[in-house]
Amino acid sequence: MTDLAERYQTIKAIIESASKSFNRPLLLAVSKVQPIKKMEFLHEFGINDFGESYLQEALIKIEHFKNKPINWHFIGPIQSNKTRLIAENFDWVHSVCSVKVAKRLSAQRPESMPSLNICLQVNIDNESTKAGKLPEEVSLFFDEIKALPNLSIRGLMCLPKKRENIVDTCESFNRLAKLKNSLCDKMDTLSMGMSSDLEYAISEGSTIVRVGTALFGTRGDIVPSEFKVDGLNNNGY
Ligand SMILES: *Cc1c(COP(=O)(O)O)cnc(C)c1O
């Protein structure tokens, strides 16, 4: 696990350095298709926030860590038949992009739990392959769901287009930041920046960076045996 420790130090140093000039973001460790052993080490190093994309895999991990003070973030695509388990088991959902899903998450959030923190996913570069509301649709979407009782709309999330030039990615991050500011002062979250571009996202105002491979190492195509659950393929979904 020395590689893991080194990668963690590297990511911490990147965040540290960027945070001298900009706000310090939360480091969300994206643990999808990564083994529990590595998550245990990272938790011991001080990571308390994990991001998962595949519900079945996530539920196994949440059960495993049930006595630990961990915040669970759902960051993957959401089918409406999965909303109940997401509402019952997660602290954050970064990938809300339909009114139907938002209504179900609010209705299914147990009363005994605090409001579910959500981010609206924005298809910031208008890509046909990506989920999310188009930038011009976000204001109406926000208005349609803002009164839902058991959700706390914390901000916006994006997965920008892969580009050669990092300057273009920065421009996408900057548009997401402006969009958030145009909506509502109460939103405090910009979920943007991943392994390859976190320092640039921080310079554009990111408050949560979602880092997977740069922290854990590459995601294998073979799911560790602990995730072999009926109905899952080798990618864990
Ligand atoms: C997998 C994933 C990440 C992490 O990607 P890396 O490039 O491994 O850091 C971040 N955000 C979302 C929504 C993801 O699905």
Indicate if ligand 1 lies below 6 Å from the C-beta of 96.
no
pLDDT at residue number 1: 75
Ligand 1 atom closest to 53 (CA): 15
Listed in sequence order, the residues at least 6 apart from 150 whose beta carbon sits closer than 8 Å to its beta carbon are: 87, 105, 106, 107, 109, 111, 115, 116
Q: What is the dihedral of CA 93, 219, 36, 90, to 10 degrees?
A: 10
Ligand 1 centre distance from Cα of residue 76 (Å): 9
State pTM to two decimals: 0.93
pLDDT at residue number 148: 98
Nearest of 47, 29, 89, 30 to residue 64 by alpha carbon: 89
Ligand 1 centre distance from Cα of residue 175 (Å): 20
- Report pLDDT digits (tens) over 177-234: 999 999 977 899 999 999 999 999 999 999 999 999 999 999 875 555 545 444 444 3
pLDDT at residue number 221: 59
The tokens for 150 are 């058991």
Cα maximum dimension of the chain: 48
Mark the ranges of the chain whose per-residue pLDDT is less than 50: 226, 228-237
pLDDT at residue number 186: 85
Ligand 1 centre distance from Cα of residue 210 (Å): 6
pLDDT at residue number 174: 98
Indicate if ligand 1 lies below 6 Å from the C-beta of 78.
no
Nearest of 127, 115, 199 to residue 158 by alpha carbon: 127
Q: Which of 191, 194, 195, 216 to mutate to test the pocket of ligand 1 (most atoms within 8 A of CB)?
A: 194
Which residue's CA is the nearest one to ligand 1's atom 5?
Answer: 212
Indicate if ligand 1 lies below 6 Å from the C-beta of 30.
yes
Identify the CATH number of the domain defined by range 2-215.
3.20.20.10
d(CA 160, CA 17): 23
pLDDT at residue number 237: 34
